[in-house]
Structure 1
Amino acid sequence: MSPPPPLRKEAAPDWAALPPELLALVAGRLRHSVDYVRFRSVCSRWRAAARRIPFPPLLALPFDPDASALPFFDPSEIASSAAIRSLPLPEARHQALLGSSRGWLFLIDEAGSVSLLNPFTRARFCLPPVTETLARASSLSVSKVRDRWVLDHRNGKQPVTLYHMRSTFISEATLSSTPSEGDECAVIIVAVLASSTKLAFCRIGDREWTLFNTALHNFVSSVAYCDGRFYAVDAFGEVCACDVGISTRATYISSLMLPPERDSFRIMGLKKELLLVAHYMDGDFPHFKHHYEIYRTDIKRRMKWYRVDTIASRTVFLSVHFNSNAIGGAFYGCKSNAMYFSEPIRGGREPSRSQIHKMAVMDVTNGCLEVISCNCIVQFSREVFWFTPCLY
């Protein structure tokens, strides 16, 4: 009996040969930034078919320096079991996160080395390391012992651990533009120091940070970039414009003249305008009531601030303990005329214990607040922040 004929091997489908119209249709149905990146990475034809889509910011959950992945929550998939995902970040092992700007993460290790990392494209740039000068600008005295920083305290020397790098050197930073291959040296990075009226800046490729004075009388709490200038706001709501470059200078601009009970401010830039978010509380302990007010100014006019009770189709994403904020519009799955907070709005920080993390969404017009569970157990002593996917 003759053996059966060998089975014919079917040729593998040529996925790159799919019609561009079909690829564009599939790409247009992608709702998650991670899926979009995977689609674009197949080949050049798939990448060309994927038009640019505005994805909402993602909520970075506590990062374990001993792990190799960053967990995050997608606000557009609140009702989905896939709302919690993770990005592989082996480059970030044994480092702490200093927040995010334009989708890039700021990293620092215990030796004080600072870098920029795009968690999606994995591009990375080294920035100048921290120094004693940066700590002195926050009235702190530090020294280096065996490649590790120690804080000179009245009770002796205390090691500066990863968790304390933000409160000792750089608390966060802001980019003037998105770093791209070929012109990354044009990007300016302005760093907010731990507790200082000064700021520090550098360019990619610089060897050290450059300090400069602001025109503010209190500690800088937030910095934004808008139309060629950096804008800084202090703890009392005073704002200054900073021209950073060959001749760096800061100019005080009109204050909001708010009542003194406003206790925190965040500034955000969007094309030709600035938004300032002010927070205050009223009522008696422990039944505080929290209020958020939004002010707007057109930087091309007289910089006159006025309060707004609607942001129309836009959405604001506010990090409670970071300057990693974002504003945009028409995000799939997200509410418009709303503020998304990185965590519930309360009078103080949560106790240091593990529990289910929650975020909050507030209607800008009526102030109604909705608390949403992220279905993820986190350690509240480690802070969370928003970051906008930078996919190109």
Structure 2
Amino acid sequence: MAITQPDWSTLPDLLLNAIAKRLPTRIDVLSFRAVCSSFRHSVPPPPQPLSPRSDLNISFPQTLTPYHYGDLSLAHSTIYAFQPLHSTQHMAETWLLKVEELPSGKVRVGDPVFKLCSEKFSQLLPKSLNLLDYRVKEILKVYRLQLQSNKFDPSCFRKVVISNEDELELEVMALITGGKVGLWRSDNKTWTNIAVGGTGLYFEDVIYHKKKFFATSSDGRTITVDPKSLNFAEIAPPVTKSNEGLISLVKSLDDLYLINKYWLEKYNKFGLGFEGEYGTVRVDVFKLDEVRREWIKVNHGILENKAVFLGEDYSFFVSPEDFPRVKKNCIYLYDKDFSRLDFDYPAVCVVNFYKEDEDAGWNYEMSSYSKIFWPPPTWLKVN
């Protein structure tokens, strides 16, 4: 029996527009319009990305840092997952790329886990990519503050997160060198120092989750900040007595995780390439229980059989079902101990922590540090 293909051109404009309005990202709207000429005529193109957002006119937080360079604008990049259009689910490969779309129509390509990126990296990529040749999925938006005058990114901003972009008012939270946290609001265009009881906590990470900002200190003490009222509360007590680790917050759907990596005995010497010796590494994973108001240590399932990327200024989960080249229950961690190495290729400073089973300790490897990022896959079209 012959299967009749649907005639997409007969769908009414009203239905097509209703579908397009429910698509979550700009790339989804572009893909939807690419189905056929009828879709393109019925659904208007999405607006060009506003990066940088110079219209916000963000002042420099002089009360939080001794430096002052001028007014700031909000810029963002997007982590995209590219996949070949014609492939089976089990054979498909996925390639991650960070892209900043400029108002001029050009794009700037960056390292998926590191703030900086060498010119050599961009020069080895194709001059253009046709989105119709791939399945493209938006993974995450990454924000930063830059000077309006010369587009320079002040180094005092370690991480920048924002509230929902589609709301009338916008809030920006910045983690600033020295462990300070500031919150800027578009309604009054001023910065507020988030200080807990005058104790001078050294904050390690910030994130926006469930319409609230979260900030965690070096001992794992976690507070929430309501961006409208500026009320804050301690949502979870400390999870560790040590302040020698690296605390990272990362969300997966409705859940929030805290990952703490630290050396039990740290000894690191650099030789040629990536040769080095390490002491014992410990990685603890916690999941926030908002009802009990505490971090619950995760032993069973570890990372729910997913993999997590802990970048320099953002983190995200991926599923090995969608990314065959990553391992489940694996942590790809940007490690600043490798900051003196050459950055000719992306993700050159990533260490891979993984568990063979739930009862075993964490293993780590550096030999495959960038294979999931570089070189580009063979199916990537150069024209």
Which of 191, 194, 200 is the equivalent residue of 1:210? 191
Q: TM-score, normalised by structure 2?
A: 0.55
Does 1:91 find its partner at 2:103? Answer: yes
Provide the residue aligned with 1:296 in structure 2.
287
In 2 relative to 1, CA 102–337 (structure 1 residues): closer, same or farther, beyond 3 Å? Answer: closer
CA contact (8 A) 2:308 2:316 kept: yes
> For the residues of structure 2 that align with 1:341 and 1:235, how far apart are their CA atoms?
20
* Residues 264-275 of structure 1 mapped to structure 2, 5 A cutoff: 264-270=246-252, 273-275=255-257
Provide the residue aligned with 2:374 in structure 1.
375
Provide the residue aligned with 1:252 in structure 2.
234
Does 1:338 find its partner at 2:325? Answer: no
> For the residues of structure 1 that align with 2:319 and 2:93, how far apart are their CA atoms?
25
> For the residues of structure 2 that align with 1:251 and 1:321, how far apart are their CA atoms?
26
CA contact (8 A) 2:248 2:258 kept: yes
**Greater C-alpha radius of gyration:** 1
Provide the residue aligned with 2:178 in structure 1.
195
Structure 2, unmatched stretches of 5+, are 1-5, 13-24, 41-76, 85-90, 116-137, 270-276, 377-383
> For the residues of structure 2 that align with 1:208 and 1:265, how far apart are their CA atoms?
30
- Following superposition, the deviation at residue 233 of structure 1 comes to 0.6
Task: Determine helix, strand or coil for the equivalent of 2:168.
Answer: helix
In 2 relative to 1, CA 108–305 (structure 1 residues): closer, same or farther, beyond 3 Å? Answer: closer
Provide the residue aligned with 2:306 in structure 1.
315
- Following superposition, the deviation at residue 219 of structure 1 comes to 2.6
**Residue deviations 1:158-208 (CA, integer Å, cap 9, x gap):** xxx825x1x23x33222333x23xxx31553322223343321324xx462
Provide the residue aligned with 1:221 in structure 2.
204
One-letter amino acid matched to 1:103: L
> For the residues of structure 2 that align with 1:233 and 1:280, how far apart are their CA atoms?
16
CA contact (8 A) 2:80 2:140 kept: no
Q: TM-score, normalised by structure 1?
A: 0.54
Which of 150, 159, 181 is the equivalent residue of 1:172? 159
CA contact (8 A) 2:333 2:352 kept: no
Identity across matched positions, percent:
10
Provide the residue aligned with 2:140 in structure 1.
103
Task: Determine helix, strand or coil for the equivalent of 2:103.
Answer: helix
One-letter amino acid matched to 2:353: M
> For the residues of structure 1 that align with 2:329 and 2:83, how far apart are their CA atoms?
13
One-letter amino acid matched to 1:218: L
- Following superposition, the deviation at residue 95 of structure 1 comes to 9.5
One-letter amino acid matched to 1:291: R
* Residues 1-392 of structure 1 mapped to structure 2, 5 A cutoff: 17=9, 38-42=30-34, 74=81, 83=95, 87=99, 89-91=101-103, 103-109=140-146, 112-113=147-148, 162-163=152-153, 165=154, 167-168=155-156, 170-177=157-164, 179-180=165-166, 184-203=167-186, 206=187, 208-215=189-196, 217-245=200-228, 247-260=229-242, 262-270=244-252, 273-283=255-265, 284-286=267-269, 287-289=277-279, 290-299=281-290, 301-309=291-299, 310-311=301-302, 313-322=304-313, 324-327=314-317, 329=319, 332-334=322-324, 335=326, 337-341=328-332, 343=334, 345=335, 347-355=337-345, 357-358=347-348, 359-364=350-355, 365=358, 366=360, 367-369=362-364, 371=368, 372-373=370-371, 374-376=373-375
> For the residues of structure 2 that align with 1:16 and 1:362, how far apart are their CA atoms?
47
Aligned residues: 271
Structure 1, unmatched stretches of 5+, are 1-13, 21-32, 48-69, 114-146, 149-160, 378-392
Higher strand share: 1
CA contact (8 A) 2:169 2:185 kept: no
In 2 relative to 1, CA 107–276 (structure 1 residues): closer, same or farther, beyond 3 Å? Answer: closer
